[in-house]
Amino acid sequence: MANDRPDKQLFAIDVTPVAIEEDAPAVGANKTFRHYDPHQQFLVPPSLDDWLAEDHIARFVADLVEEVLDLEPFFASYKEVRGYPPYDPRLMLKILLYGYTTGTRSSRAIEKACSDNVAFRWLAGNQVPDFRSIARFRRRHLVALRALFRTSLLLCQQAGMVRLGRVALDGTKVRANASRRKAMSYRYLTEKEKVLAAEVDDLLHDAETIDAREDKAFGKDRRDDLPDELRRKEHRLEVMRRAKADLEERARSDAAEKARKAGEKQGLDQDLIEEHAAAAASHATPKPTAQVSFTDPDARIMKTADGGFQYCYNAQAVVDEAHQVVVATTLKNRSADCPELPEMLDQVAENTGTFPTTLLADAGYFSEDNVVATTTREVDAYIATGRLRHGEDLPAAPRGRVPRDLSPKQRMARKLRTKPGRAHYKRRKAIVEPVFGQIDTCQGRKALLLRGIEGAEGEWHLLIACHNLRKLFGFAGTAKMAPT
């Protein structure tokens, strides 16, 4: 066997002198080259296992699927005996996890990699699932794939990578799989709906006239389909009406939520708050410039880091300082970060069993309600009360006793200006922001592939799970190299 040879090579090196012909390019010396024959056949059956390094991350993914993960949710969904046998869920899960870990997320790219990439071929056992099967598997098992985040976090906890001493919370705008060219504003929708409705009425009138004439000539037993143009315009009108209704419902919901918050600040009782919310919703109308996307109606226009406006989702992540493991995450279609803080703290406790000792967050999360939320959960919070210019440092806190009449915002600002506060807050960027950068560069997160809030949230959790698995793989490798 090839593996029994001392040199551990599949092929022995055949050192063959190369004769230099008269018309061959001139060389500096009569050099001897290694034998090269691109048509050389295998002398022994090849094994992909020999071509993959022992410490390759693909082996880590394979062991994870075979020995650690609970595969029952994946197998349990196959209840139909009839039909062509599907691909083994273990195969599909391996190539999906490896793809999302290394930046190959497209189903077409994964299909191609199963032919061209040694690691993918090794994981797939030399099978090449087509891209439709890969995409269907991902969508079919979205709930189970989403749950892998909790599994990855549990594995990191068991490895001693999560300490929950100091954590940082931050958000990032994640591009949705939506085209701005296939979207309309509320004003244009209203105008276009009237025009299209009139065109549909004219086409219906023409179709009824033609039907009456043909019924008279050929009888009334004929059942012809609607004309293609009429069917197409009716479908467009239906889609536009749904989009318009979605904008109107969104406006009512936003108005009601705004009225509820105003009522709570005024100290009104709950029944009166709900009355104000219902009244605000009944009079709410969308802004003329409010837009909706036809490709992903759940996505929202948000301002991105480059200063532009794109269809996005807003993702949140709480990152533990020890090894940059994400201990809580969520994805919503509202751009504001501030309302997410209490939920993220509760999710940390739910995922890990305890609240963190210290929380760091930027100015987007500051509010008096959030200060109260951290205090009631006994979390020492350092939340910026305003934005600093690039390179600007916080001034030192004034000496002396803290005045009793300070507002929560003034108290937090003073806390951040103390020496411990400055030391804590300087760690925020180093803890959480590299995580988003690593997901972008190492895992290829330029935009989400799945559409709709359910699909986008499931894919984001899968990306975070694979980020944690990358950290676990690196930590395990470091532990092996550490002296005993």
Give the residue from 170, 169, 152 showing the smallest Cα distance to 161. Answer: 152
pLDDT at 443 over 50: yes
pLDDT at 433 over 50: yes
Q: What is the mean pLDDT of residues 394-403?
A: 66
| Residue whose entry in the numeric block shows the structure tokens 């940059």 | 324
The C-alpha atoms of residue 323 and residue 300 are separated, in whole angstroms, by 33
Q: What is the mean pLDDT of residues 295-323?
A: 90
The C-alpha atoms of residue 2 and residue 422 are separated, in whole angstroms, by 61
pTM: 0.79
Q: In the chain, pLDDT over 90 holds for what percent of residues?
A: 46
Of the pLDDT bands very low, low, confident and very high (cuts 50, 70, 90), residue 479 is: low
Of the pLDDT bands very low, low, confident and very high (cuts 50, 70, 90), residue 375 is: very high
Supply the mean pLDDT for the chain.
82
- Give residue 236's pLDDT: 67
| Residue whose entry in the numeric block shows the structure tokens 């650690």 | 68
The C-alpha atoms of residue 157 and residue 353 are separated, in whole angstroms, by 11
Q: Is the dihedral of CA 373, 376, 382, 384 positive or negative?
A: positive
Locate 4 and state its tokens. 């029994």
| φ/ψ of residue 398, rounded to 5 | -65, 150
pLDDT at 183 over 50: yes
Q: In this structure, which amino acid lies at residue 1?
A: M
pLDDT, tens digit, 9 for 90 and up, residues 248-285: 777 787 778 788 778 877 778 777 878 877 888 888 88
pLDDT at 96 over 90: yes
pLDDT, tens digit, 9 for 90 and up, residues 120-161: 999 999 999 999 999 999 999 999 999 999 999 999 999 999
| Residue whose entry in the numeric block shows the structure tokens 């004034």 | 398
Q: In this structure, which amino acid lies at residue 390?
A: H
